[in-house]
């Protein structure tokens, strides 16, 4: 490994550490930042990823590191990592020692626009960097009504905390179509449609209407969209998403060990045919959409690492891109107050995940189309494929 790669991997390890352990700061530190003007503000459209809530106080969603990685900003007053503001510059520090200056993420132009019914577009589609958008059509999950929420999830608690203050509500197809079109004019190139658990029939009809609206307003038949759906009882429904124009599909199994799955995801076990049916649905999705066009998230840290890697390997062998997302115990979830494994545990898992992707021939673009573009596995690809701006600077 050359010197630059070593530097990049150390910085990537730091990205994981600050994600798992959070970053401490005074919530008022951003009074010096043009948040909501030049710089992007966080929108609580799905989950609260900080370790405590902060209704009424805006934070940025993340920042750039010196070598081109995007760090998520997860607030935790207990962390040994911190943000410091000195003489007009923000710095990331560890135990009070400055590591590097940070540059917060710039606000996309479409965040300043409204839909034809007056809705703020930033409340319709959140910008996730690298041209990726996330439309969270519903900031609630119906499993709450049956007391069957996934134990790690805080979607309903997030809605209770932030919906009124931030104006977050149900998104309608026309709003989505107009917003995606504006974002694509602003450099967007991928959109994920997702939300909480809804009835199967309602879900498929809604997703079809959304696809029609996006195609109408963008003029694109292939708008590079991911439909994030539950495992349908009738697997033939999956074909409708492909016919509607979605390029990729996501069905998140969350936990690979079937017994832990039952305990952690009771609603998915009881309402969607159980673990076996989720796996069967994913395999059928590959038959319909093709290899590398199906995604499933496994929340990494809830089960043993070997179990998660077994799931990633098995699903990859079937053509599914299984994403290991580092678990942080969210406020308002049933597992609030628990601890995620140490950062080194997660880094080892991500490196092994990227190796599995290589083994089964998944390309960077396939992973990008199926997942969050700031994920660690994609960052590893960026290092190994010399796809970071720092490599261009070296050549110049």
Q: Which of 104, 120, 146 delimits the end of a domain?
A: 104
> At how many degrees (to 10) do helices 343-359 and 3-21 cross?
120
Q: Give the pLDDT score at 1.
A: 56
Same domain, 73 and 191: no
Average pLDDT for residues 253-257, to the nearest whole number? 97
Secondary structure class of 255 (helix, strand, coil): coil
Binned at pLDDT 50, 70 and 90, residue 393 comes out as: low
Same domain, 35 and 165: no
Which neighbouring-strand residues pair with 62?
72
Same domain, 157 and 21: no
pLDDT per residue over 315-355, tens digit each? Answer: 999 999 999 999 999 899 999 999 999 999 999 999 999 99
Instruction: Note the Cα 216 to chain centre separation in Å.
Output: 26
Same domain, 297 and 321: yes
Same domain, 228 and 142: yes
Q: Which residues contact 128 (CB under 8 A, 6 or more apart)?
A: 134, 372, 373, 374
Secondary structure class of 298 (helix, strand, coil): strand
- CATH assignment of the domain containing 265: 3.20.20.70
Same domain, 214 and 285: yes
Q: Give the pLDDT score at 228.
A: 95
Same domain, 99 and 133: no
15-19, 141-145, 148-152: which has the highest mean pLDDT?
15-19
Binned at pLDDT 50, 70 and 90, residue 396 comes out as: very low
Q: Give the pLDDT score at 394.
A: 59
- For the cut 60, the answer to whether the pLDDT of residue 395 exceeds it is no
> At how many degrees (to 10) do helices 376-384 and 3-21 cross?
170
Average pLDDT, the chain: 94
Same domain, 295 and 328: yes
Same domain, 97 and 150: no
Same domain, 139 and 223: yes
Binned at pLDDT 50, 70 and 90, residue 307 comes out as: very high
Whole-model pTM: value is 0.95
- Domain tally for the chain? 2
Among residues 277, 299, 263, which one has the least CA distance to residue 230? 277
Q: Which of 41, 73, 104 delimits the end of a domain?
A: 104
Secondary structure class of 227 (helix, strand, coil): strand
pLDDT per residue over 32-41, tens digit each? Answer: 999 999 999 9
Same domain, 19 and 114: no
Same domain, 117 and 71: no
pLDDT per residue over 114-141, tens digit each? Answer: 999 999 999 999 999 999 999 999 888 8
Average pLDDT for residues 221-238, to the nearest whole number? 95
The parent domain of residue 186 ranges over 109-392
Q: Dump strand ranges (E) for 105-170.
A: 126-127, 132-136
Secondary structure class of 215 (helix, strand, coil): helix
Q: Which residues contact 3 (CB under 8 A, 6 or more apart)?
A: none
User: Residues 228, 254: contact at Cβ < 8 Å?
Assistant: no
- For the cut 80, the answer to whether the pLDDT of residue 197 exceeds it is no
- For the cut 70, the answer to whether the pLDDT of residue 361 exceeds it is yes
Q: Which of 104, 137, 160 delimits the end of a domain?
A: 104
pLDDT per residue over 71-81, tens digit each? Answer: 999 999 999 99
Binned at pLDDT 50, 70 and 90, residue 201 comes out as: low
């Amino acid at each position: 490994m050359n010197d630059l790669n070593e530097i990049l991997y150390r910085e990537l390890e730091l990205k994981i550490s600050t994600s798992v352990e959070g970053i401490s700061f005074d919530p008022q530190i951003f009074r010096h930042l043009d948040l909501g003007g030049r710089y992007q503000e966080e929108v609580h459209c799905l989950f609260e990823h900080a370790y405590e809530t902060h209704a009424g106080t805006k934070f940025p969603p993340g920042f750039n590191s010196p070598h081109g990685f995007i760090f998520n900003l997860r607030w935790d007053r207990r962390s040994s990592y911190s943000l410091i503001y000195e003489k007009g510059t923000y710095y990331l520090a560890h135990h009070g020692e400055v590591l590097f200056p940070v540059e917060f993420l710039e606000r996309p132009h479409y965040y300043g626009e409204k839909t034809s019914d007056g809705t703020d577009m930033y409340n319709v589609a959140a910008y996730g960097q690298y041209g990726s958008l996330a439309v969270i059509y519903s900031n609630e999950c119906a499993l709450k009504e049956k007391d069957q929420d996934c134990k790690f999830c805080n979607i309903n608690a997030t809605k209770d905390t932030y919906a009124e203050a931030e104006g977050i509500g149900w998104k309608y197809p026309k709003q989505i179509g107009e917003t995606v079109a504006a974002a694509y004019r602003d450099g967007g190139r991928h959109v994920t449609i997702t939300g909480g658990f809804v009835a199967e029939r309602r879900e498929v009809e809604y997703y079809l209407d959304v696809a029609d609206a996006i195609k109408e307003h963008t003029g694109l038949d292939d708008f590079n969209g991911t439909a994030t759906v539950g495992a349908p009882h009738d697997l033939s429904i999956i074909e409708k998403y492909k016919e509607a124009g979605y390029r990729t599909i996501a069905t998140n199994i969350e936990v690979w060990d079937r017994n832990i799955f039952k305990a952690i995801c009771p609603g998915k076990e009881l309402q969607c045919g159980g673990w076996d049916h989720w796996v069967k649905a994913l395999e059928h999705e590959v038959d319909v959409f093709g290899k590398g066009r199906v995604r499933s998230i496994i929340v990494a840290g809830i089960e043993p690492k070997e179990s998660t890697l077994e799931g990633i390997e098995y699903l990859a062998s079937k053509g599914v891109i299984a994403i290991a997302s580092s678990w942080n115990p969210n406020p308002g979830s049933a597992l609030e107050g628990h601890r995620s494994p140490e950062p080194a545990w997660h880094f080892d898992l991500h490196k092994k995940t990227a190796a599995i992707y290589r083994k089964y021939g998944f390309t960077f673009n396939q992973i990008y189309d199926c997942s969050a573009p700031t994920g660690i596995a994609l960052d590893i690809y960026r290092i190994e494929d010399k796809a970071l701006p720092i490599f261009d600077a070296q050549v110049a």
